[in-house]
Amino acid sequence: MITVEHLTKCYGDFTAVSDLSFEIDEGHVYGFLGPNGAGKSTTMNIMTGCLSATEGCVRINGHDIFEEPEQAKRAIGYLPEQPPLYMNETPAEYLRFVGEAKGLKGRELQRQIEEVLRQAKIGHVKDRLISALSKGYRQRVGIAQALLGNPEVIILDEPTVGLDPIQIIEIRDLIRQLGETHTVILSSHILSEVQAICEKVLIISQGKLVAFDRPENLEKLLLASNGISFTAEASEEEIGEVLGGISHIAEWEIQVQEDGGTKVFARTESENVKDICRELFFAFADRKKAILEISSRKANLEDVFIELTEGESGVAEE
Amino acid sequence: MIAVLKHELSGYFHSLTAYIFSAFLLAFVGIGALIYNIQSAVANFEYVLGYVCLGFAVIIPILTMRVIAEERKQKTDQLLYSLPIRTSQIVMGKYFALLTVYLVPLCIVAVYPLIFAQFGEVYLPTSYGSLFAFFMMGAAMIAAGTFISSLTENQGFAAGIAVPVILLNYYSVTLAEYVSATASGSAAALIVTAVLLGFVIRHLTKNRNLAYGISILIMLAVVIIYFADSSRFEGLVPDIMTKLSLFERFYTFVNGVFDLTAIIYYITVIIFFLFLSVQSLEKRRYN
């Protein structure tokens, strides 16, 4: 569906995207994740023909975006980071223009405008000036615009930035619905968002692709940081003895606290943290030592993200 | 292209731009007609057009300043880039919309000679020939204004550049009289122009070698020609300045000559600036 090969973009001496290659298949919601300035917007702008590449190529349904821009662009609906809206127009006028520019005419144009107004739930504001609409509604008008012409791929650049929590939830629901009928690619620097809606995640850092997998597989990547933290009323030696007798525990850190408890973080090698917790509980119970607190810690996408982008960038803000 | 044209037109007539432009143009022509045709009882309508054409320095920038600059400012240019239309179609659509807005007041003006003809002898071919040339000259300036608007995202800046450019073009004939007509003066002026051109190219393409290369090539050519045959440079700069004047060619029509070369010159200017506008828009993808 979309093939990106050896994409490189330089601004003078600065390399925004370097040798990026990936392939996107039909019918999934893809998340484009990376810290600010990682090259997400640049890559999306190149994929939609808004920006040229220094090297490499992007093919959409087999059409090169630079060689056959018209055919390639027909397959894409794009919402840039800042929705490209004409403030002195109403959504109806705006959508009519975009529809006509995408080659729609007459009754088909009218039908599609009504369809996207319904999908984006902006039918009731279609005759108000865009300048009078709230940020959330403007975002929806931007998404409606991307949907016109029924493109196979919808590309959304940070669609939820600057929205309030309720609007964020609404836009996410909308994206999820779109994912049922379209291929959706969205970029974000918010991990929970990508985890919540995307079926596959591309992590990029400093213009390079560092990971491309399903969110749950990425978490498995970091099995090593799965662990159990607990506080027990026992001395360091006793804890060492207990932990030594339990399988699947590789290493641990001990921190003696002033109120008598000892805080421990143990790294586990197994996915089945529950079993290890149970084992720990009975081991301490046998020794008549109380566990005051116990919790398992599962690595999430955030850890993967930090692990992958750390060191390379130093700008991982989230 | 039709989509862009329709969209632009509805934009102009929804905002004040088209009305302000028409009001100014009609006011200028109206005052001119009042002074020449009515008060002085001169039957030549073309003199009015010759008199008001300086007004272009005000009204053309009003019309063209926002045409591309505003897209850039509102970031709607990203939408245009991502739509399945070519950059040339975008520029053409915008240009024809501007021409349409320009034609509306001219259609009203076109009635004036007929009215005057009711009250005396008016030589209509000269009047309408001049009106046509007036349209073509305006069209050439609109093309130049479109290009200037494509260089910046600030409308005020676009207008601020367009006004002096038009004024300079208007006065270039007068200025030409003050410019040194000697061979060495012309050669020096050409070398300065080559240096300036180098800076402009460097600014636009960010390519130093290309800019300096072109600049040095032109300078070398000037020096070689100067030493080979310095008489070629005699009176060259004033000549070029007069030739470049859009207004000077228009006065030929006012004097009653339908000059085809002038029309071809106007069309060339239009194509040249529209081409540059397309390149300017394309270039932004390569920054």
Q: Do the bridges between strand A208-213 and strand A227-232 make them parallel or antiparallel, or are there none, so unpaired? A: unpaired
Confidence at B6, pLDDT banded by 50, 70, 90: very high
| ipTM, 2 dp | 0.85
Provide φ and ψ at A198, rounded to 5°. Answer: -95, 145
Do B75 and A70 count as a contact with CB atoms less than 8 A apart? Answer: no
Q: What is the Cα–Cα distance from B206 to A9, expressed in whole angstroms?
A: 16
Q: Which of A76, A78, A87 sits opposite B74 (nearest CB)?
A: A87
Q: Which residues, in sequence order, are bridge partners of residue A207?
A: none
Mean pLDDT (chain B, rounded)? 90
Residue A311's pLDDT is: 55
Q: Which residues of A touch B2 (CB under 8 A)?
A: 100
Q: How far is CA B230 from CA B180, B182, B186, B188, in A?
A: 14, 9, 10, 12
The nearest CA of chain A is from the CA of B28 a distance in Å of 29
CB atoms within 10 A of CB B209: 9
Centroid of chain to Cα A97: 31
pLDDT tens string A28-65: 899 988 888 888 889 999 999 888 888 899 999 889 99
The nearest CA of chain B is from the CA of A52 a distance in Å of 5
Mean pLDDT of the A251-274 span: 78
pLDDT tens string A74-122: 999 999 989 999 999 999 999 999 999 999 988 999 999 999 999 888 9
Q: What is the Cα–Cα distance from A107 to A173, expressed in whole angstroms?
A: 29
Mean pLDDT of the B147-175 span: 91
Q: Is residue B16 less than 8 Å (CB to CB) from chain A?
A: no
Q: In one letter, which amino acid is A295?
A: S
Confidence at A301, pLDDT banded by 50, 70, 90: low
Q: What is the Cα–Cα distance from A158 to A14, expressed in whole angstroms?
A: 23
Q: What is the Cα–Cα distance from A49 to A126, expressed in whole angstroms?
A: 29
Provide φ and ψ at B38, rounded to 5°. Answer: -95, -55
Domains of chain A: 2-220 (3.40.50.300), 223-298 (3.30.70.250)
Q: Which of B4, B7, B84 sits opposite A70 (nearest CB)?
A: B84
Segments making up each domain of chain B, as ranges: 2-176+245-286, 182-234
Q: Which residues of A touch B76 (CB under 8 A)?
A: 84-86
Select from A11, A50, A71 the residue whose CB has the most chain B CBs within 10 Å, as the one to mutate to test that interface. A50
Confidence at A313, pLDDT banded by 50, 70, 90: very low
Q: Is residue B89 less than 8 Å (CB to CB) from chain A?
A: no
Provide φ and ψ at A174, rounded to 5°. Answer: -60, -45
Q: In one letter, which amino acid is B103?
A: L
Q: Identify the weakest region by mean pLDDT among A29-43, A167-181, A212-226.
A: A212-226
Mean pLDDT (chain A, rounded)? 85
Residue found by looking up tokens 């800076």 in the block: B199
Q: Is residue A63 less than 8 Å (CB to CB) from chain B?
A: no
Q: Does residue A221 have a pLDDT over 70?
A: no
Q: Which residues of B touch A101 (CB under 8 A)?
A: 3-4, 7, 83-85
Six-digit token string for A182? 């379209």
Q: Which of B11, B74, B82 sits opposite A50 (nearest CB)?
A: B82
Q: Is residue B15 less than 8 Å (CB to CB) from chain A?
A: yes
Do B7 and A70 count as a contact with CB atoms less than 8 A apart? Answer: no
* Better-scored residue on pLDDT, A2 or A223: A2
Question: Quick check: B122 and B131 in contact, CB under 8 A?
Answer: no
- Residue (of A147, A148, A128, A150) closest to A137 by Cα position: A128
Residue B188's pLDDT is: 86
Q: Which of B4, B75, B81 sits opposite A49 (nearest CB)?
A: B81
The H or E element containing residue B243 is helix B236-244
pLDDT tens string B195-250: 998 888 887 777 788 888 989 999 999 888 888 887 878 888 888 888 888 998 99
Q: Does residue A316 have a pLDDT over 50?
A: no
Q: Is residue A200 less than 8 Å (CB to CB) from chain B?
A: no
pLDDT tens string B134-149: 999 999 999 999 999 9
Q: Which of A73, A86, A89 sits opposite B83 (nearest CB)?
A: A73
Q: Is residue B24 less than 8 Å (CB to CB) from chain A?
A: no
As a whole-number percent, the residues of chain B with pLDDT over 90 amount to 51
Q: Which residues of B touch A145 (CB under 8 A)?
A: 79
Q: In one letter, which amino acid is B220?
A: L
pLDDT tens string B80-137: 999 999 999 999 999 999 999 999 999 999 999 999 888 888 889 999 999 999 999 9
Residue A315's pLDDT is: 42
Q: Do the bridges between strand A183-188 and strand A153-157 make them parallel or antiparallel, or are there none, so unpaired? A: parallel
Q: Is residue B231 less than 8 Å (CB to CB) from chain A?
A: no
Residue A222's pLDDT is: 64
Q: What is the Cα–Cα distance from B82 to A295, expressed in whole angstroms?
A: 50
Q: What is the Cα–Cα distance from A209 to A20, expressed in whole angstroms?
A: 6
The nearest CA of chain B is from the CA of A73 a distance in Å of 5
Q: Which residues of A touch B287 (CB under 8 A)?
A: 11
Mean pLDDT of the B22-27 span: 94
Q: Which residues of B57-85 are buried (b: 16+ CB within 10 A; e: fewer)?
A: bbbbbbbbbbbbbbbbebebbbbbbbbbb
Q: In one letter, which amino acid is A253?
A: E
Q: What part of B 195-224 touches A (C-beta under 8 Å)?
A: 206
Task: Using the Cα atoms of residue B45, residue B48, residue B53 and residue B56 in order, give the sign of their dihedral.
Answer: negative
Q: What part of A 124-183 touches B (C-beta under 8 Å)?
A: 145
Q: What part of A 26-45 touches B (C-beta under 8 Å)?
A: 45
Where helices occur in B151-207 by DSSP H, the ranges are 155-176, 183-205
Residue A318's pLDDT is: 35
Contacts (Cβ under 8 Å, ≥6 apart) of B280: B68, B147, B150, B151
Q: Which residues of A touch B14 (CB under 8 A)?
A: 88-89
- 3-state SS, residue A186: strand
